[in-house]
Amino acid sequence: MSSERTPKNVARQSSVFIGVLSSVAVLVVLRVSDSLNLWAISIIVGVVLEELSYFVIYNAIENYIDHRIQILYKTISKVKGGGDLTINMDEDVVELANQDVMEWAEGQIEEINLLRETDSFRKDFIGNLAHELKTPLFNIQGFILSLLEGGIDDPEINRKFLSKAEKNIDRMTRLLEDLDSISKIESGAMNIELETVDIVELSSEIAENLDRKAKDANIQFKIREEEEFKVLCDPNKIRQVLSNLLVNSINYGVDNGKTKVRFYDMGDNILIEVDDDGIGISEVDLLRIYERFYRVDKSRSRHAGGSGLGLSIVKHIVEAHGGNLHVRSTLGTGTTFGFTLQKAPIGKT
């Protein structure tokens, strides 16, 4: 920072100029009056006027800057009752104030952008939630109206419509459960109770529970069970993660497709991968798959009854365990989701 730009030095430079100019003026007068033998008077006048002008100029600058800067900082400060700002006239006050104003302006821009993003997210969330609830509600309403208009008297029709209404109620229930899970996770209310778990055995159990759903979609599960892998995790939460990834592999799979679950020892962690040969995900969609209600194939996932919240929940749960979640995918080839969990200490049960 250049010292020449400080208010004190500006006042001093101005006063020196006035002092020198005054001395020259007095010398000219003395020469005209043939009194150059009194030249010392010009020096005295110059010094006196220099000091006097310095005092006047310095105080004028100080009062002006102090008043303006105080008002400026009252405008940009977010702290109430912080006291008056102390201004050091030995510093480049204008440059420092300019830097503070620029920082304040950048902060305001960031805050405005954040508010816009938050507002946009809120609107999208409310719109998506309304749509997700509206669809099953309208379906249920339609089935009930059909029954009330005479369909209830036909055993075959009433059973069919009641079954469809039940499926839509189940869809709404899953959506509300997923919303509750997201809310608990983001508020920090979700408790992670770590246990030593055989992740291979847990994966096999979940695959077995989903076997009927997989067969209906003509998808085959393959769990690599050559060895045992023990991890520290909350079994209920990781069951939710694996279930979601396996169900996604079914929903986005292809006829006669395969889903493989593989495990890798990475030293302190175990890597679990769920690999499928389904429809895959485009590069554009990969950037947004963890957003709430975002779907790669909207018609397919809605038909399958997905809430659009699953991967967001998966990401939160894995990160709550201190692990990492990643995805690799090629459109038309398939997708691989992988996540890490801490390896259980040897001998710990």
pLDDT tens for 225-256 read: 778 899 999 998 899 899 989 999 998 889 99
Q: Higher model confidence: residue 233 or residue 305?
A: 233
Is residue 152 pLDDT above 90, yes or no?
A: no
**pLDDT over 70, % of the chain:** 77
- In the chain, what is the greatest distance between 2 CA atoms, to the nearest angstrom? 133
Residues 199 and 320 in one domain: yes
> Where residue 300 falls among pLDDT bands split at 50, 70, 90?
very low
Residues 337 and 246 in one domain: yes
**How many C-beta atoms surround the C-beta of residue 229 within 10 A?**
22
* 242, part of any domain: yes
What does DSSP assign to residue 78?
A: -
Q: What pLDDT sits at residue 199?
A: 94
Residues 336 and 199 in one domain: yes
Is residue 133 pLDDT above 80, yes or no?
A: no
Q: What pLDDT sits at residue 1?
A: 42
Contacts of 340 (CB under 8 A, 6+ apart): 266, 269, 270, 271, 272, 318, 323, 324
Over residues 333-342, the mean pLDDT reads 92
How does the average pLDDT of the chain come out, rounded? 79
Residues 45 and 135 in one domain: no
| Cα Rg of the chain, angstroms | 38
Q: Tell me how many domains the chain contains.
A: 3
In this structure, what token pair is assigned to residue 20?
A: 């020198």
> Where residue 112 falls among pLDDT bands split at 50, 70, 90?
confident
**pLDDT over 90, % of the chain:** 19
Instruction: Among 170, 187, 204, give the residue marking a domain's end.
Output: 187
Q: What pLDDT sits at residue 135?
A: 72
Nearest to 241 by CA among 335, 102, 337: 337
User: What single-letter amino acid sits at 66?
Assistant: D
Q: Higher model confidence: residue 168 or residue 84?
A: 168
Q: For residues 234 and 181, is the Cβ–Cβ distance under 8 A?
A: no
| DSSP string covering 264-333 | EE-SSEEEEEEEE-SS---HHHHTTTTSTT--SSHHHHHHHT--S-HHHHHHHHHHHTT--EEEEEETTT
Which domain covers residue 208, as residue numbers? 195-342
Beta pairing, strands 325-330 & 269-276: unpaired
Residues 238 and 144 in one domain: no
- State how far the Cα of 301 lies from the Cα of 132, in Å rounded to an integer: 12
Instruction: Output the CA–CA distances (angstroms, integers) from residue 174 to 7, 129, 243, 310, in the order listed.
Output: 68, 13, 13, 10
Residues 168 and 300 in one domain: no
pTM of the model: 0.55
